[in-house]
Chain A
Amino acid sequence: MTSPYPILAILGILVVVMTLAAGLIWLERRLLALWQDRYGPNRVGPFGLLQVLADMIKIFFKEDWIPPFADKVVFVIAPAIIVGTVLMSFAVLPIAPGIIVSDLNIGLLFILGMSSIGVYSVVLAGWASDNKYSLLGGLRAAAQMLSYEVFMGLALMGVVLLAGSFQLSEIVSAQRRVWFVVPQFAGFILFLIAGVAETRRLPFDLPEAESELIAGFHSEYSGMKFGLFFVGEYLGVILISSLITILFFGGWMGPVLPPIIWFVLKMMFFICFFILLRAALPRPRFDQLMSWGWKVMLPLALANLLITGAVALAWG
């Protein structure tokens, strides 16, 4: 199932994903403006499309400043971790038949592992900045992402049970008859919520909550280091949207249109849903977030797993 030209697949996925992440910045600002009855960026180029390019040029030429009180090495490594781990996860995503870098037999576990390493990016950035607000942001990120990763993993086990494999391409082909969103609707909702928390998007953006922590873990970051956090967040949104598509909505499968178009269409739908969440929902308090996780999400995820297991056992 692995692509015949691995280098081509690697380059193609890298370029497309990075371009998409940059384009999402524009899309998010335009969509938010549309829903909030504003204009958004519409000056630079047609529909303001070149705004991203202008921002990129600006961010590359900004002074790359490291605070004198920061822990220099950790400060520099932290933003690279998030982009590195998310890009690694894209290596095991089956975009369409034949378009995949490496079809690991533990693909899903690999993605969970990479996302759990990604936590360090935020935690270490918060610590290395040596700033009280950043440290609080880092602590919040550690608690939030660690907890929601547990629910994310548990929510996915239902899908693994039905497909009988951790291999993502096999999970897609197991959905030939019916998409897993139908038998695993609870798992889908749980995964969606955990995914939003995992990418630290509103309403779960407490590690960087502007109104209370200034910018949380990335207060001290500027220039392209801040840019990496920014791109990392959008890469995370693309990753979670792709995962939802692959695990619950049949991946590339669909009638008439070619597989890759179906994949992109489904993924874009969930990306827009992520942006809609940001436009529509307020931010909870941190204790509300944690008790929601451990008192609602965890029992539901366990019950879902138990029932799925029992049904799978009964039907053989």
Chain B
Amino acid sequence: MNIVVLVKQVPDTYSERKLSDADSTLDRDSADAVLDEINEKAVEQALQIKEAGEGEVTVVCVGPDRATDAIRKALSMGADKAVHVCDDALHGSDVLATAKVIAAAIGKGDAPDLVLAGNEATDGGGGAIPAILSELLGLPQLTHAREVSIEGQTVKATRETDEGLTYLEANLPAIVSVAEKINEPRYPSFKGIMAAKKKPVDTFTVADLGVDAGEVGLGNAWSAVTEAAPKPPRAAGQKAEDEGDGGTKIAEYLVTQKLI
């Protein structure tokens, strides 16, 4: 089975993240960069599927030079090879352009039986890439999966959303995006880290992929950030002294907020 996993390098969730002053895109230098946690889970899922049967896991990443660290991590966990799309022209691309580039990058290799992704990245939080990609590649999408299993030529997934659980099934090839509860990703072992040094990483530019440079980048994005302001600090709350009437005061407050 040929499994492709999409990975993204994001600013560490535990650090302070901000947008750059110049063009309101993500300021990548302001925070430590890590492999997005949800992608670690996607890689783990791919490895579990591979280990249960057989196959090859290819990591696909779109990002600047230093995204190689995120790729290394995925390879150290056990992925077999990687494709890195790295091009300054991609700076500021929106989800549509990014999905096009990813689709073209996937097309560079053998046709995948399964494409795995995280449900959404912790930085942009768009959560649209798996769906757009499914449209572009003409593959069924099974998103927000908290459980995935492969049975012959079918993939089954338990989709978890606020509305509850849905049981999905599709023929392979398909795209699956995994959610938080899917698994606990493994830590790269000494052997894995050493082996990753020798694993092949193909690097492509936008031109290599045959994507028109006029379709990508900040200038060609369908959405634009005109202004951004940091979240205001939390204002101090109201304090109610309990003089035997605390319950009433709380109720009154909730009434003013139209909550009860």
A binds B: no
